[in-house]
Chain A
Amino acid sequence: MAALIETEGLTRHFPAGEEVVKALSEVTVSIAPGEFVAAMGPSGSGKSTFLNLIGCLDRPTSGRYRLMGEEVEGLSHDRLAELRSRRIGFIFQSFNLLPRTDALGNVELPLIYRGLRRRARRERAAMALAAVGLADRMGHRPSQLSGGQQQRVAIARAIVGSPDLLLADEPTGALDTRTGLSIAALFQALNRGGVGVLMVTHDPEVARFASRVLRFRDGRLVGDARQEPADAAALLAALPPMDQAA
């Protein structure tokens, strides 16, 4: 079985005036399907650049990258868009929901570019919202939802197209501990269902839920360790209950 992600000497340099910013240098890594990987490192370490390259939002200066066996280098803009549409789901720290659109409409968005009819889109989006536990919030706008709920909408949007890989950039960064735990538990549940997860974080508390941790420093991959992940759902259940659930 082909690796989910396979990079070889992946490098991204940005010209900045006379200087060259070496955002990422010579990263060679292979991630199998179904892995839950945390990319860690201080800001400027290259972990976000790595995420953008893996997400086909950016192109490497040099090096190779294969996504599910497909060579990404040299693909057209349209083909990259298609890869993002079919293979990848993005989750951002700031959720990035459309403010004037309700939860269902936000989750529906990626399906518009999959050529699904409106009815099929709405059914599928409703399924995704139900899967993240928001079946009763479909008509709510982002401003009517809590932070945790907004991130769940974003996760529903990421999984609505059945991606092979979820890319999350500090997904719990804007959330409190309890809510963060519930989001991490959701990631773990998705991962158990066979979806690969690559999560960028600087928070060791969050990284412990991953089965593998990549450490970045100054644009280089400096650590790659497997670990027994902590169970977020169990930790959440062990917390003293609150009157309001996330």
Chain B
Amino acid sequence: MNAPGAIARERAAASPPSPVLPPLPAGRGGMDLLEALRGALSALAANTLRSILTGLGIFIGVAAVIATVAVGEGARRQVTAQIQSLGANLLIIWGGSATMGGVRLGAGGRSNLSWDDAVAIAREVPQVEVAVGSIRQTFQMVAGNQNWSAVVIAADPDYFVAHEWVPEEGRLFTAEEAAAARKVVILGATVAENLFGEENPVGREIRIRQTPFEVIGVMARKGQNPMGQDQDDAVFIPYWTARRSVMGASRANARQVGTISVKVHEGEDMQEAEEAIRALMRQRHRVAANEPDSVSIRNLSDIQATRDAAARTLSLLLASVAAVSLLVGGIGVMNIMLVSVTERTREIGLRLAVGARRRDVLAQFLLEALVLALLGGAAGVAAGLALSHAVADLAGWPVLVKPDAVLLAVGVSALTGLFFGFWPARRAARLDPIAALRHD
């Protein structure tokens, strides 16, 4: 097998005619970002399972943040909607304890508020748009062979303005009808359902305490109030009709009302209006300077503020949970990057020997940590969105994923990657190339 051809081939393979390459044109110097990114991705792909497990820490943190923020926001909006369903810029005045013949009846006793108090508030407090007295009492009501027990609210049409009731069917009663004490009634949606089922009640008759009323409208549904009561389980009749025909009247209570609803003009300070009303009530009820107020005023924005404060506390709690999980995730990233640097010590030595600058090595490992954290974060955002959609479906409120929460989550995971990746990357960049090349 000593053919001359074989020798020639071998000689050609061992010593090619000119193995020296032509000079290399000068490049820009330094490595490009795309190449660095490709390197980072392939390094992560080389240890797929490890990369996934490391990214999991960030993933869980980010998913939790997105989901909890979305769910929290949804819940908050629902509460806000409930509060707003009661009426915006609304103050409710409750009677204090009435004093009858020197006997103080205590809170919840008979009201000391009168129809005229409401009229006075509307007239004398400039911030007030409407002030209307109302009484409410539960009665059994009958329509045909159906009967139902519900709250009867007796007031003036201004009440609908203050509490933002609008009819779904038919109409509201007018001021003239109210003044004339007409026997007309507007049904809440729940009552209409229970008395008339699917039928349209407008134009039909119901009896409240034997008194026949003509149904002139059905209210649009409001749902629960923040205390969980069904606001639609009520009917509305004119105040004077109630006084004459349903709730009865005596000398003592002929003009009495249970509460006064006050709607303050948009943009006015609720606090100032409240103070003015308080002062007016003290004057009208002849309360001495050293005596406590005769009425209590509930500001619905107070309820909202309380809810908001609770929501803020919850958000803070969620934020700290997120911070802790991102911290743990970040430590995971740092740990795995340190392992990676140790594993690839020879590679780092080689890269330094073939011309990588320290900053090239730093950038390589920093980018790897960043990509790892960002991939975890992006997956976390996706899972968080899915989770909030699922929860929103179950709870029946709209999904409210704020774009800034998503941006924040991604930004924070990027920062986590950079922060926790920096030290391992710096360690890699500062390796002594000789020692690194000898590393086992």
Residues of chain A touching chain B, judged by Cβ–Cβ distance below 8 Å, are: 52, 55, 57-58, 77-78, 81-82, 84-86, 90, 92, 96, 98, 100, 109-118, 124, 127-128, 131-133, 157, 159-162, 181-182, 185-186, 188-190, 193-195, 232-233, 236-237, 240-241, 243, 245-246
B45 and chain A: residue at smallest CB distance: A100
Interface residues on B, range: 35 or more
A169 and chain B: residue at smallest CB distance: B437
8 contacts across the A-B interface (CB closer than 8 A)? A78-B359, A96-B346, A112-B31, A161-B24, A189-B19, A193-B20, A194-B20, A241-B10
User: Mask for B328-357, Cβ within 8 A of A = 1, else 0?
Assistant: 000000000000000000110111111111
What's the least CB distance linking A158 to chain B, in Å? 8
Looking at the complex, which of B1-9, B157-165, B282-290, B303-311 is the stretch in contact with chain A?
A: B1-9
> A98 near B347 (CB under 8 angstroms)?
yes
If A96-B437, A113-B30, A131-B21 are given as contacts, then 14 extra A-B residue pairs at C-beta distance below 8 Å, sorted by A number, are A55-B353, A57-B353, A77-B357, A81-B356, A96-B349, A112-B35, A114-B355, A131-B16, A131-B19, A133-B16, A185-B14, A186-B15, A190-B19, A245-B13
Chain B residues with CB under 8 Å of A188's CB are 15
> A115 near B29 (CB under 8 angstroms)?
yes
Residue B22 lies at the interface, judged by CB distance under 8 Å to chain A: yes
> A110 near B15 (CB under 8 angstroms)?
no
The total of interchain contacts (Cβ-Cβ below 8 angstroms) comes to 145
Chain A residues with CB under 8 Å of B18's CB are 131, 189, 193
> A182 near B14 (CB under 8 angstroms)?
yes
Chain B residues with CB under 8 Å of A85's CB are 354-355
Chain B residues with CB under 8 Å of A185's CB are 14-15
> B355 near A161 (CB under 8 angstroms)?
yes
What's the least CB distance linking B140 to chain A, in Å? 83
A185 to B16, CA, bound (A): 9
Chain A residues with CB under 8 Å of B42's CB are 100
> B21 near A77 (CB under 8 angstroms)?
no
> B350 near A96 (CB under 8 angstroms)?
yes
- Given A58-B434, A114-B29, A233 and B11 touching (CB < 8 A)? yes
Q: Which of A96, A127, A193, A241 contacts B1 (CB 8 A)?
A: A241
8 shortest interchain CB distances as A-B pairs? A85-B355, A193-B20, A115-B27, A115-B28, A110-B354, A131-B19, A233-B15, A182-B14
> B15 near A92 (CB under 8 angstroms)?
no
Chain A residues with CB under 8 Å of B2's CB are 240-241
Q: Which of A98, A114, A195 contacts B24 (CB 8 A)?
A: A114
> A189 near B21 (CB under 8 angstroms)?
no
> A109 near B14 (CB under 8 angstroms)?
no
Residue B404 lies at the interface, judged by CB distance under 8 Å to chain A: no
- Given A110-B355, A236-B14, A115 and B20 touching (CB < 8 A)? no
- Given A189-B15, A241-B10, A160 and B32 touching (CB < 8 A)? no
Residue B358 lies at the interface, judged by CB distance under 8 Å to chain A: yes
Q: Which of B30, B356, B358 contacts A115 (CB 8 A)?
A: B30
> A237 near B360 (CB under 8 angstroms)?
no
What's the least CB distance linking A209 to chain B, in Å? 12
A111 to B27, CA, bound (A): 9
> A132 near B16 (CB under 8 angstroms)?
yes
B360 and chain A: residue at smallest CB distance: A113
What's the least CB distance linking B243 to chain A, in Å? 90
Chain A residues with CB under 8 Å of B358's CB are 77-78, 81
A161 to B433, CA, bound (A): 20
Residue B23 lies at the interface, judged by CB distance under 8 Å to chain A: yes
A232 to B15, CA, bound (A): 9
A124 to B23, CA, bound (A): 11
Chain A residues with CB under 8 Å of B12's CB are 133
Chain B residues with CB under 8 Å of A111's CB are 24, 27
Residue B252 lies at the interface, judged by CB distance under 8 Å to chain A: no
What's the least CB distance linking A103 to chain B, in Å? 15
A186 to B22, CA, bound (A): 17
A110 to B32, CA, bound (A): 13
Chain B residues with CB under 8 Å of A77's CB are 357-358
> B19 near A132 (CB under 8 angstroms)?
yes
> B21 near A115 (CB under 8 angstroms)?
no
Chain B residues with CB under 8 Å of A181's CB are 14
Residue B103 lies at the interface, judged by CB distance under 8 Å to chain A: no
What's the least CB distance linking A125 to chain B, in Å? 10
Residue B46 lies at the interface, judged by CB distance under 8 Å to chain A: yes
> A113 near B355 (CB under 8 angstroms)?
yes
> A160 near B21 (CB under 8 angstroms)?
yes
